[in-house]
Structure 1
Amino acid sequence: MPQINYNERSWAIDVISEINIYLANKSWHVKSAGGENTIRNEKSSLFPDVLIFKDSAKKIILQGWELKMPDTPITDTELINNAKIKSEILNNNSFILWNVTSAVLYVKKGNTYSILKSWDSIDLHSRSEVKENENLWKDLLHTILEDLNDYFEHGEITESGSSEILAIDKIIDIVLENIDSTAENIKENIKSSAVLDAQIDNWWLSSAAEYGFSSQAQKDAKHKLPTLSKVILTDWFFKIIFGNIIKRYFNEAKIIETITYDTTVSEALQIIANISEHCNFWNIFGNNIANELVSDNAWKQLVQLNVFLSNLNIGGVDIQILQNLLQSSIAYAKRKVAGQFATPPQLADLLTRLTIDKKGGITFDPCCGTGTIIKQAYSLKEEYEIGQEQIIESIWASDKHSFPIQLSTLTLSNPGNIGKILHIFRSDVIELHVGQTIAFKDPNNGNQVEKQLPMVDYVVSNLPFIREKEIKKLNPNIKEINKLIREQTKAKKTLSKKSDMFAYIPFYLYDIISDNGKIGLILSNAWLGTDYGEIFLELIQKYFNIDRVVISGKGRWFNNAKVVTTLLIATKRNISDPIDLDRRISFCTLKEKLENIADIKKLSSEIILNKESDWVNIQSYSINEIKQLENIGIPWSGYFANLNWLPTVAEKLIDSKKYFDFIRGERRGCNRMFYPAKGHGIEDEYIEPVLKNLKKASSFIATSQTQAFCCSKSIEELETLNHTGTLNWIRSFENQMDKTNKKLLPIALRKPNMFWYEMSTKNMADFVVNINFDKSLFIAMLDKRSFFDQRMIGFSIKEQYKDENKIFLLALLNNILSMFFIESFGFGRGLGALDLRETKFKKDFKILNPELLSDAQKKEIIKAFQPIFNRDRLPLEKELQQKDRIDFELMLLKIYGLDKYYDTIKQTLLHLYKTRFAVKEKKRKKA
């Protein structure tokens, strides 16, 4: 009687058994079969039903087989595709499909699989016939094995050249397909656990930026649970991979093999905790938020991975292959989870080489993230043949969160330090202090070992980029450092409340750094061109001597449009020591993408020696020269170009605030009310022209394009005047809600000494400038005095200069020197946009001094500028090539006796301009 429950799994076990019996006494290329413990009759299965090994010890997998019953066609597309994926997972070049009746051998050539051999010889049609006709399929099996052995022996099927036993990227991709189901599982559990909800919110607040999101942005809220799910799934993946690798070092780790298909997630967590108790590695095996909430399908796949590795003879696998498995896991996971925010290895290499002088010195990354930087410091020490014991003792790393700690520990783990205590621990950077007691576990006996945080010689780190609004919730006490700064420096200024988090951290690090120790930090470029950045710069130079600043002049270092970064290298100084005015600071611009620079060591040597090359442009200024430039008003964002000409030219400049009052554009909120659409019915006297933007201003003239509602009368006055159109307009908004803060508009729009519906018309201007520039640098003249939107800065001519010719003033605002000031004042965003500040313009924007000119010279300037004024503006590079522009610039500079500086000024301007746009990747043209 046929066995009605005889299925694919039953048959696969019989096939594996028969293969091993048949090959027992043969010295063939194929030696054995396995896989009986990983067989799953599910679509989510990661591994083939049968594994063919090159050796009896089952260390080297040659091929995988997919088995089906006769009722599944051998040509089934899903079957073939699944088999290809599993072959890729095993890094194999071939696989066999067999549905009892027929079998097909697929072989990979290049990137495609094609059929090399087919076997058709059994006349069976249903699964009920398989067991009772086993002699038929066994005969076919023997034929398949004979043919297969011949193919391997004669090289028609080649073994994989990969040094890895698994294609980790494929497995991670499959496991991460469970993100949505895991996120849904978490969502359901949050409904019944306020504690879990609070834990996840706190994690998101501090971690969102690491994954490219803002914890405060409503549009990013939808990414919270999927991101956490990605972290959880990857965390489990690492626990399983690492737990199986360390079995060869610790017998206690072998209990990971007890995680099988019958093991629950909670039971597995207990097994993992048991391993950590005896083998340390708590950074890797520790429990993270919601680890127990992986979806059912994800858990099945993770168990399959564990069972597969448990049955592989790990002890017999070459240690380098296991190391490759681990490191490829980490590298791919970093790309998948941390993605564009993980520090690129080349950048970490450059940072450590520029910072670490004495290779044996204690090196610390207090915001270690995925561990790339501290791993590079480890490798640098190895390169200089520092002994392993000394390296391990001199490498320290910490992070506020457990997942980065896990990644960093995995990144540093290698055969040379297994069994050693790695100084990687969990701590908030602002709580670090010398002598701080940190508990580790001895991997060899599980005993707790307490160590004190030593004085550090070098801090190398990619500091977190967390905005000021998020700091209040994330690190409400971080601003306490201002009290210490005030006490230590007697400075009148302290760090601005608008500072991003990275601005505070160097001051917390100061006390853990040894005398003449150094910091090498990756920072957002905001400190080079913001109001808070100026204060940061002033204060940090009391604590550190800045040695060099490095930026990219060819592409972004992080593939994220919102982040443009810099390297800051500085040496600790005694706060009370006088400033050495002759000491020089180097400003370095890389002229090539880091990934295209083959020799980072050579690049770092050139930077250290201040030697320009095809890879790097270097400008160097003394502290005294920098003070001169700062007095002129040039921020540090401008110092990457040649400014040696500027002090001489500055003698012919004057602060523009002498001629103009600076006004920030009107910001009132509720655009639908204050910028009414046609048919509004408001009386004409309450409608004013307003300039919303300069997008339609193709020349130097800007025309007000929009109507604005401006009423300063009370409701009673309007009723007396019987201005019903205006009354109806105001009353139509009385009960509407503000879309931002969800309050009624009369409350949300309330301002001191103003009606809630009032918008002032006092801020009228003659000229306007964007606060965000793209390719054209210009200041526009309004066709008539108007008020304008908040995205612009207005220039209102002072009363005593009202009679000055506006075209003349426009020419002084739109020449090569004014364009240089505009370009140098801002800092570039990730898409190449230039951000400017009203405060900077008001304080430091300079123009050529009109008081040095005669009336005749003014007329000459107007005449030379007229052709430019009469045509459309052009993008900067093209603009500077126009004959009328060249003629005007040379004539203008000649009048002021500065014409010999024309080429130098132009080169400086273009250098800064091109550097700003270098971060904006050019789209590849389609072939």
Structure 2
Amino acid sequence: MAEITEWTFAADAAMWMTLYLQGHKQLPFAEAKVEIKGKENQSRRDLVLFDRDGRKALTAEIKLPDTREGQTPYNAGLIADARRKAAQSHAPYFATWNVNRLVLWPTDQEHELKVYDVATVRQRGDLAAVQVQRRIREEFIPRFLEEFARIYRGEEALGVLPMDQRFIRRLESALESLANVIFPAALDRYVTHRPFKQGLDTWMREQEWLLSDDDEMVRENVERAIRLACYITANKLVFYQALRRTRTFKLPKLAIPPHTDTAERLRDHFAALFHQAKEVTHDYQTIFEGGFIDRVPFITDHAVERWRLLVELLNEFDFRQFDQDLIGHIFEGLLGPEERHRWGQHYTKPEVADLINAFCIRRHDAVALDPSSGSGTFAVRAYARKKHLARGALTHADLLSQVYACEISEYAAHLTALNLATRDLIDGENFPRVARADFFDTSCDKPFCSVPDVLAERKKRADIAMRDIALTRADAVVGNPPYLREKEIGRTNKQKYLQQVCAEWPSLTLSGRSDLHVYFWPHACALLPEGGYFGFLTSSPWLDADYGFQLQRWILQNFEIIAILESVREPWFTGARVATAATILRRCSDSAKRAANLVRFVQLRKPLKELLANDGTETGRQEAAERLRDLIENTKADTRTPDYRILVVPQQKLWDDGCQAGELTDTGESEDNDTQPVQQTNGMLQETGGDYHAARPYPLLSNWTGHEEGSG
């Protein structure tokens, strides 16, 4: 096979563009060519796109990603060279392209217009892969030519990318370059170094990843871990830069000394900066502290220069000149769900969190809890919900003091804390209530988390003084608890969870066959006062499976069921391999009130993003969620539209059809099944030695949503 060079790749790209243009005569371009040599004193242009009048519409400079100049299409020398060549050619636009990403620039303006993700290539040999060539030829080139045609014709309004987007795009490119150089070393160490493999496997299990010895799965997992590890460290560096803009914090400039030439020295250098940030701010331990995964980006000395380039990028943007709104936009983009997903983190769609929060957070002073926060989608959207309701009545510190999150994963807790802290980088108390803990180790009688004590006399001490924060009540419990099946929980944890639930809710008996999320319901609801709201996004099988029967019974005896929602158009959690449902409850001890309550079973037939269409402002997002909430709650009879179906059922009927009318049946299982004996509840259950369940209290939802589209 002939060697792949920048010239051969440019020739292929020009050929693919020309072939596409030959079949799409409506576009203003005729062909693309590769220049063999420059004219007179001009250097050769890698690729030129001509319009149908023979004029140069665009010139492009191409660098392969395994070259120094090709590490990022934002290389300053590459941009300057490409701009000079475009100006000499009188081309109105130019592109810098490192195969993985193409950046489109106006020749006469400083900043880029658009950025295109093209492929994922680490070294030039990867360009020979059929799937890589197909992706470039059949996906990228048509999209680029169609979009650039609209720009060239003036059909699409021109405007450079906003500063926050320019920053994030450059950071993405630098991170991809880092991941590419670290991956081979990480994969080799994973295969040959047992302690490293054990450490990374442990971390991946904590993230609930699927592990396998399959070569392709190993490569995918290692690559995903590398990308996340680099993303975590970059988050810390960006946050450090953001702190430096605050005059209160005297932090040294972010820089890598010239003599730092090994990855281990660089890791120690960053660790010292992060430690100093914690000392100076008396805060942000959850953000700056790390574990095993924080060592992964520094396993090869080849990464040092790539980190140096990333730090230089951060210093190109003077954070001290940015106002809080711009800082906020940067972190919203950097920590947003789509961006986290780019680097390998699954997430709950924000629209789902907004709808659940609209149901559950009704007052600006409501205390909200996410017992398994992941990277913080529910907690951040709860903060936004409360800020919207407060209309300026709550400060940033007030809002943080009323939003609680618990997360067992060190990495996810870091993201949650960072997500909340960067809502407003104030000089004063900026202490997210994020507990890095197993939620089942939390209780009302011990501290939930600790935050710095900033009283004057404490600040004089050398050590950071901490004060404990208790959580004795939550007006709203919201979240998306882990998708972990019964067999993956472990016998010891299972017994612990069962005992805890029995102690908090003596009338509730859960089967030891329950998925993990089922235990979260009663433990979290122990904090709910009368009238408090509960909203969980979970897997749907609890509505059908045997282990869900007792949970349903407990719900009917302690809550008004406001709504149960499912979508037939989209998954609501990226990475989930099961159907999901959102359940909205309100704590209610009045049996008559519960019986009279109308339950809404909701099937959404369009993506939530369409149903919650708004003007893009925070107020617009909140009001759209409120409108859909009110529509559902105000529906009194069965309703069918192209957008949704709502089945309205009196809660008493659910009880009558299920618990009271149902026959208890013995599954025939032995006592050695980790279940607690069924306890008497209102005289309807009898204690036995086997595993018993009532007839299903919710026979309606699965039967209804299982109908064919358009059926009765």
Question: Which residue of structure 2 aligns with residue 257 of structure 1?
Answer: 254
- Aligned partner of 2:600 in structure 1 is 586
Does the 8 Å contact 1:606/1:613 carry over to 2? no
Cross-structure match for 1:422: 432
1:290 aligns with one of 290, 293, 296 = 293
CA RMSD of aligned residues (A): 4.5
Cα deviation, residue 564, structure 1: 1.6
Write the letter of the residue equivalent to 1:204: M
Counterpart in the other structure of 1:620: 648
Q: TM-score w.r.t. structure 1 length?
A: 0.51
**1:552 matches 2:567:** yes
Q: Are residues 1:502 and 2:508 paired? A: no
1:362–1:456 CA contact under 8 A, matched in 2:
yes
2:686 matched residue in structure 1: none
- In 1, the alpha carbon distance for the partners of 2:709 and 2:660 equals 22
SS in 2 for 1:610: coil
Rate the CA distance shift 1:526–1:256 in 2: closer, same or farther, 3 A: farther
One-letter amino acid of the counterpart of residue 440, structure 2: I
- Cα distance, 1:629 vs structure 2: 2.8
Shift of 1:505: 1.1
> Which aligned pairs between 1:207-222 and structure 2 lie closer than 5 A?
207-209=207-209, 213=210, 220=217
Structure 1 equivalent of residue 706 of structure 2: 912
Is the CA contact (8 Å cut-off) linking 1:546 and 1:571 kept in structure 2? yes
SS of residue in 2 equivalent to 1:451: strand
- Which residue of 258, 273, 283 corresponds with 1:271? 273
| Counterpart in the other structure of 1:890 | none
Give the whole-Å Cα distance in 2 for the aligned partners of 1:909 and 1:249: 58
Question: Which region of structure 1 is more displaced relative to structure 2, 436-445 or 367-376?
Answer: 436-445
Secondary structure of residue in 2 paired with 1:436: coil
Cα displacement (A) at 1:567: 0.9
Alignment of 1:746-765 (within 5 A): none
**In 1: Cα distance, 2:99 partner to 2:215 partner:** 41
Query: Do residues 564 (structure 1) and 573 (structure 2) align?
Result: no
Work out the CA distance in 1 between the residues paired with 2:107 and 2:478.
Answer: 46
**Structure 2 contact 229–294 (Cα < 8 Å) conserved:** yes
262 and 240 in structure 1: CA distance in 2 versus 1, 3 angstrom threshold: farther
C-alpha displacement at 1:394, in angstroms? 0.9
Paired amino acid for 1:914: E
Residue matched to 1:669 = none
- Computing the radius of gyration over CA atoms, which structure comes out larger, 1 or 2? 1
**Alpha-carbon distance between aligned partners in 2 of 1:309 and 1:170, rounded to the nearest angstrom:** 9
Are positions 1:230 and 2:227 aligned together?
Answer: yes
1:525 pairs, out of 515, 540, 544, with: 540
Work out whether residues 461 and 521 of structure 1, in 8 Å CA contact, stay in contact via their aligned partners in 2. Answer: yes
Q: Distance in 1 between matches of 2:443 and 2:256?
A: 41
Structure 1 vs Structure 2: percent identity of aligned residues? 16
Partners of 1:577 and 1:215 in 2: how far apart? Answer: 50
Match of 1:605 in 2: 630
- TM, length-normalised to structure 2: 0.65
Tell me which amino acid in the other structure corresponds to 1:277.
E
CA contact 1:368–1:461 (8 Å) conserved in 2: yes
Q: Distance in 1 between matches of 2:350 and 2:695?
A: 41
* Aligned with residue 483 of structure 1, among 476, 499, 524: 499
Report the counterpart of residue 304 of structure 1 in structure 2. Answer: 309
Task: Quickly say closer, same or farther: Cα 1:41–1:338, change in 2 above 3 A.
Answer: closer
Residue 422 of structure 1 deviates from its aligned partner by: 1.7
Cα distance, 1:176–1:514 mapped onto 2, change above 3 Å = farther
Partner of 2:657: 629
Please state if 1:463 is matched with 2:481.
yes
Q: Indicate which of 450, 453, 466 corresponds to 2:467.
A: 450
Q: Which residue of 1 aligns with 2:146?
A: none
**For the residues of structure 2 that align with 1:403 and 1:487, how far apart are their CA atoms?**
31
Q: CA deviation at 1:297?
A: 4.5
Q: Deviations over 1:257-307 (max 9, x none)?
A: 233554322222222222223222222222232322324444433321212
Are the counterparts in 2 of residues 520 and 568 from structure 1 also a CA contact under 8 Å?
yes
What are the equivalent positions in structure 2 for 1:642-681 lying under 5 Å apart?
A: none
Q: 1:361 matched to which residue of 2?
A: 366
Partner of 1:596: 610
- In 2, distance between residues paired with 1:529 and 1:214? 28
Amino acid aligned to 1:433: S
- SS in structure 2 at match of 1:397: strand
Against the structure 1 CA distance between its residues 312 and 618, is the aligned structure 2 distance closer, same or farther, given a 3 Å change threshold? Answer: closer
Tell me: CA distance 1:422–1:494, structure 2 relative to 1, closer, same or farther (3 Å): same
CA distance in 1, matches of 2:245, 2:110: 35
- Cα distance change on mapping 1:161 and 1:334 into 2, 3 Å: closer
* Counterpart pick for 2:444 among 426, 430, 434: 434
Pairwise CA distance, 1:577: 7.3
Q: 1:84 to 1:163 in 2, by over 3 A?
A: farther
The 1:299/1:428 distance shift into structure 2, 3 A limit, reads farther
Distance 1:309 1:542, change over 3 A: same
Distance 1:443 1:47, change over 3 A: farther
**Mean CA deviation greater in 416-425 or 231-240:** 416-425
| Matched length | 537
Q: State the alpha-carbon separation in 2 of the partners of residues 205 and 338 from structure 1.
A: 14
Q: 1:181 to 1:539 in 2, by over 3 A?
A: farther
